[in-house]
Chain A
Amino acid sequence: MALTTCFWGTRGNVMSVARERLIYGGHTTCLAVHHGEEMLIIDAGFGLANLAASHNSENPASKGGHKFNLILSHFHWDHIQGLSYFIPIYFPGNEIVIHSPFEREVVTEILNLLFDGSYSPFNGLDSLPCTWTFRKLEHDAEIGSFRVDFHETAHVGETYAFKLATDTGSIVVATDHDASRTQVNDSLVDWAQGCDMLVHSAMYTPREHLQLGGFGHSSFIEAVRNAERIGAAHTLLTHHAPLRNDGELAEMEHNLQHMYNTDTHRLSFAREGAIYRVR
């Protein structure tokens, strides 16, 4: 059974709209991991609205009776802002299961802020016709055929990386992580060992990382070092800086590939809409 991932949003911080950023994509973070017919969604940036277009109101699959599993790494706007545009929430009978290592009260407080009547035409989570289920994620939890584990990342505020393991293979997703924070990073690297695919934050050039003080994201060089240490067959770098154009990203990707790729190990910059085979 194939294990694949599709990036619906690859951009960090803020939605980025420009003709010269279409290849790597402009929507904020959201990816779906597919194992056979099952899908786990990770994070709900505007990419989730993009994903929802395949579950739009004309699609009978959206008319209710469906269950969607969403895992949240943290609650920065660029990781949750797409949830209110996820079409299945508008249909009764759909169940949205939100998994995260956070306490239920934390999740509902933040999502009620997102759906607050001052910021949206809704009046809190309960004003939507779908059913919301909140699951506090335990280590090595089972979600369908996935075994899901988590590890803290070095970010601004409490944030997690996830490991999704199946009979086919495994993927580690660490979209928001500053690999220069040695203590957390060493532990994360140990924990991630043995995965087939690594999705890793890489927002900055080393100079930008120094100037901006990291802000919870890795430089390209540190991301590559983590890729080496973790040793996944395929590493995907994501959370592209908002104004980084396709040309610049393609050139960096080319240079890093030249430096890193071997017959058994390769890396790419995640592209919106692209489907990658984990195994």
Chain B
Amino acid sequence: MVRGVSMKVSILGVRGSRPVSSLNTMRYGGNTTSFRIDIDGLSPIFVDGGTGLYEEGIRLAAQPDPFKLNMLVTHTHWDHILSYPLFEPFYRSDCEVTFFAPVSEKTDFPRLIQGQYHDRTFPRSFDEITARIEYRSFAGGEKFDLDGVSVSTFQLNHPGITLGWRVEHNERAVCVITDNAPIEKNYLGQGMREKAAADPEGFEKNFNDSLIDFILGADLVIYDTHFNEESIKNRRHWGHSTPRSATAFALEAGVKHLLLHHHAPEDADFEVEKKLEEARSMVGDQNLVVEAAAEGMVLWL
């Protein structure tokens, strides 16, 4: 690692819902969510297994020496997990993988990975995985130490159980907030409606304050901005945010660098740029750098 750098964050997939391939989405990229975080002396940390992870798997499996990987998972919707069965390191017996995934009410995470290997839906069987895989489950609000790196979670407002992740090391922090919708009486996360029933305003204030706390002072926040103020109308139940909402949270939390992410599949490059302009116009001369996540981007913290 370069001197003075604590973390390197690589953007492998930026697209929400489904991957897209067309000439007018190439500047930002068409693969679905995946990031890589490198920290000196620690095995790579990956966040999510969208199609952005596929080629990375081939690169990783090409290395001759045994290796370890840490895989954080925000949630198990297809666009965030569909590359896992195609991830080459799983088929290497000298590879060790630890999954850090949200708890699930319906079934546990290993069973959801196994579900991708249904014998009619995938040509390889789950038993062909030769890598040593461990699974650890987390609920929102949990914190743990990963070989000296501090990792914490926060339950986001998205159908099912979705975790935001904060990875912190040497006073540098990166947060991944995807997928997430503003609450505004729109309770999507598992258990949120029930919790909000008695005191909706209190619940919403608490959620917002906790989210600000969670990303407080982060050097980099990658945030779901699938929608703009127009496209979110009638689709609030889909569970995604807008640049306006993302920027408001980032400013409030004193974030240094905001990366707009989870670009809608129908967004051509110029539409992503419009979102970026909107976010930047809110920032004005305040101290926040805003960019739109593009595949291949590498950020040094």
- A113→B120 CA distance, assembly (Å): 11
Interface segment, one of A13-21, A163-171, A249-257: A13-21
Contacts of B160 in A (CB 8 A): 117-118, 121
- A66→B82 CA distance, assembly (Å): 30
* Chain B facing A: main interface SS: loop
Contacts of A157 in B (CB 8 A): 119-120, 123
Contacts of A27 in B (CB 8 A): 21
Interface segment, one of B2-10, B26-34, B191-199, B279-287: B26-34
- Taking a contact as CB atoms under 8 Å apart, the answer to whether B118 and A113 are in contact is yes
Contacts of B26 in A (CB 8 A): 19, 22
Is B266 located at the chain interface by the 8 A CB criterion?
yes
* Shortest beta-carbon distance from B21 to chain A in Å: 3
- Checking B85, B86, B121 against A113 with a beta-carbon cut-off of 8 angstroms, the contacting residue is B121
- Taking a contact as CB atoms under 8 Å apart, the answer to whether A110 and B118 are in contact is yes
- Taking a contact as CB atoms under 8 Å apart, the answer to whether A243 and B18 are in contact is no
- A94→B51 CA distance, assembly (Å): 30
Q: Which of A236-261 contact B (CB under 8 A)?
A: 242-243
Contacts of A158 in B (CB 8 A): 120
Known contacts A75-B121, A118-B112, A119-B77; A14/B21 CB under 8 A: no
Q: Which of B46-60 contact A (CB under 8 A)?
A: 51, 54-55, 58
- A77→B81 CA distance, assembly (Å): 12
Contacts of A118 in B (CB 8 A): 76, 104, 106-107, 112, 115, 160
Is B95 located at the chain interface by the 8 A CB criterion?
no
- Taking a contact as CB atoms under 8 Å apart, the answer to whether A117 and B106 are in contact is yes
- Taking a contact as CB atoms under 8 Å apart, the answer to whether B104 and A243 are in contact is no
Per-position contact with B for A2-43: 1 when CB-CB < 8 Å, else 0? 000000000001111111011001110000000000000000
Known contacts A113-B121, A118-B106, A118-B160; A22/B265 CB under 8 A: no
* Shortest beta-carbon distance from B88 to chain A in Å: 12
Q: Which residue of A lies closest to B109 (CB)?
A: A118
Number of interface residues of B (CB under 8 A): 43
Q: Which residue of A lies closest to B18 (CB)?
A: A85
* Shortest beta-carbon distance from B272 to chain A in Å: 15
Question: Count of A-B contacts with CB under 8 A?
Answer: 102
- A25→B104 CA distance, assembly (Å): 36
Q: Which of B6-49 contact A (CB under 8 A)?
A: 17-23, 26, 29-31
- Taking a contact as CB atoms under 8 Å apart, the answer to whether B58 and A77 are in contact is no
* Shortest beta-carbon distance from A86 to chain B in Å: 11
Q: Which residue of A lies closest to B104 (CB)?
A: A118
Is A125 located at the chain interface by the 8 A CB criterion?
no
Is B159 located at the chain interface by the 8 A CB criterion?
yes
Is A108 located at the chain interface by the 8 A CB criterion?
no
Contacts of B18 in A (CB 8 A): 46, 49, 82, 85
- Taking a contact as CB atoms under 8 Å apart, the answer to whether B107 and A106 are in contact is no
Chain B residues at the A interface, C-beta cutoff of 8 Å: 17-23, 26, 29-31, 51, 54-55, 58, 76-78, 81-83, 85-86, 104, 106-107, 112, 115-116, 118-123, 159-160, 237-239, 265-266, 295
In the complex, besides A15-B30, A121-B237, 14 extra interface pairs with C-beta distance below 8 angstroms are: A14-B54, A14-B82, A15-B51, A17-B51, A26-B30, A75-B120, A80-B121, A85-B18, A110-B120, A117-B106, A119-B77, A119-B78, A215-B123, A243-B58
A and B contact pairs by CB, cutoff 8 A, 8 listed:
A15-B21, A15-B51, A76-B121, A77-B85, A77-B116, A110-B121, A116-B115, A121-B159
